[in-house]
Homo-oligomer: A and B are copies of this chain.
Amino acid sequence: MEQCHATALKAAGMKATPKRLAILEMLEAEPGYASPEELWKRLKDRFDRLGLPTVYRNLEELSASGVLSKVIHPNRQLYYYFCSNREHHHHFVCLSCRKVEDIPACGIEALEQEVTRRNGGKVLSHILQLNGLCGGCADNGEIR
């Protein structure tokens, strides 16, 4: 388990520090997504010293290296999710219990139906947004 994580971290070019591993471990055990502060509150018992900024920093770095997924939440706070699925996929997020379910394919209309058919529940809204550079901007590749 933690060996796994250490390997994944190495692969991502990150040091396998105890705190980093603990964050991964805790998030993996989590059935759904969690906020930095929640993780910090639970984790700081395990260490004599653990700063909240360290949790923020690690979650962001891990998310940037693709080890974790970031959840886009209506309340605009940060939430992270441990997702072992390395295939291209999307997530169904339950706003009530925070459970995250993988959605293997794209194609939204059919998607919603399939999700509700398979898992039951109800899709209240979805977010689909493509980010990138338009024709004019792709050339001189700046980000404003």
Q: Does A138 contact B (CB under 8 A)?
A: yes
Please tell me if the beta carbons of A126 and B123 are within 8 angstroms of each other in the complex.
Answer: no
Q: Does A1 contact B (CB under 8 A)?
A: no
Please tell me if the beta carbons of B101 and A119 are within 8 angstroms of each other in the complex.
Answer: no
- Contacting chain B: which of A6-14, A37-45, A107-115? A107-115
Chain A interface extent, by class = 35 or more
- What sequence of 0s and 1s flags, for each residue 110-141 of chain A, a beta carbon within 8 Å of any chain B beta carbon? 01100100011111111111111111111001
Please tell me if the beta carbons of B94 and A129 are within 8 angstroms of each other in the complex.
Answer: no
Chain B residue with minimal CB distance to A94? B134
Chain B residue with minimal CB distance to A77? B76
Q: Which residues of B contact A98 (CB under 8 A)?
A: 144
Q: Which residues of B contact A107 (CB under 8 A)?
A: 106-109
Q: Which residues of B contact A123 (CB under 8 A)?
A: 130-132
Q: Which residues of A contact B (CB under 8 A)?
A: 71-72, 74, 76, 90-99, 101, 103, 106-109, 111-112, 115, 119-138, 141-144
